[in-house]
Amino acid sequence: MRLNKYLAQCGVASRRGADDLIQRGTTLVNGTMVLDPAMSVSDSDEIKYDGQIVKPVKQRVIYILNKPKNVITTVKDTHGRRTVMEYVPSGVRLAPVGRLDKDTTGLIMLTNDGKLLQFLTHPKNRIPREYIVEIDGIITPPQITKLKKGLYIGDGEYGRAEIVSQRKVKGRSKVLLRLHQGKKREIRRMCYHLGINLHHLKRIKFGPITMSNLKIGEFRGLTEQELKDLDALIKKR
């Protein structure tokens, strides 16, 4: 199999993420650094990522974490900032499913299942994510129309969102918003281009998985029903 697929099955990253990691010189095959993600490898080869031997996942592990503010959604940070990995057990190699920027709180999944990670984050699968957005004023009907149709958010990209509901509280509104792609800082960029003052952003749902009553900084494993819901989603798509 290809080296990038091998790393994905080891839970290191999605296949696309593994491409980048390999090209950075993080991976050795039988003691030799390899920069080609398409290189063919087998179980008989010794594969090292970041200095450690990695093997394909035998037991699937999935956690959900209520990410605090000012925590980075990455496995490591070269600037010494706190990462989501500090909040979950370290006995299993895990990778975050997608990203939340440091100022955004809420649901982040972490798993050692590279295939699941790839499925949930690939744009073609359009896995819905839901957020609570706290803003000044309200999102007006013309703005709702623009969000639904898609608006330019810079860097050659367009953002789209569905407003599920909004509730006004003392001059501000709490808006339930749904995305189907999840571009980098997409909601913040959409609000900026619409002139909306955003105060707080929290993800509460990813696909069929909701955060339930987790406190900030708490994590838990998925229930049997949640695992079945994820598997059903994969089969459906």
Give the residue numbers annotated as catalytic, written as ranges: 101
10, 55 Cβ separation under 8 angstroms: yes
How far from chain centre, in Å, is Cα 161?
17
Q: Counting every residue, how long is the chain?
A: 237
Give the CA dihedral 70, 72, 73, 79, nearest 10 degrees: 180
Give 210: exposed, middle or buried? Use CB within 10 Å, 0-12, 13-18, 19+: middle
Report the amino acid identity of residue 180: H
21, 2 Cβ separation under 8 angstroms: no
